[in-house]
Amino acid sequence: MATVTSAAIELSGPAIRAALARHSPTDVHRFETELRDALARAAEDLDLDKPQTVLARWHALATMAANPLTNEEQAQLDQAKSGDFTGLATRDENGNWTTL
């Protein structure tokens, strides 16, 4: 079994921007624009929900970009997308793991 290391991305604007710049540079401008727009609205209505939503969404995207799927994981995803769940694991109604 291969050892897998993952990159943790802090949930902050600067950390997300840095991760995107490193792993998905074409998304940096969109992230900055969306976050600045949300922050401008928050400055008007004092509601931080929109900036937090933008940060959460882009945090997930930056984390995925920093931790791409392995070839094996991509093959499993492709298999599942095709409707073939053979060999994949799931939990039964009692919370026990079972192989399909």
pLDDT tens, position by position, 40-57: 999 999 999 999 999 999
45, containing H or E segment:
helix 28-45
pLDDT surpasses 60 at 15: yes
pLDDT category of residue 83 using cuts at 50, 70 and 90: very high
Closest of 76, 63, 72 to residue 16, by C-alpha? 63
Residue-level pLDDT at 4: 65
Residue-level pLDDT at 61: 97
How far is residue 96's CA from residue 57's CA, in Å, rounded to a whole number? 31
What is the rounded radius of gyration, in angstroms, for the C-alpha atoms of the chain?
Answer: 18
39, containing H or E segment:
helix 28-45
Residue-level pLDDT at 3: 63
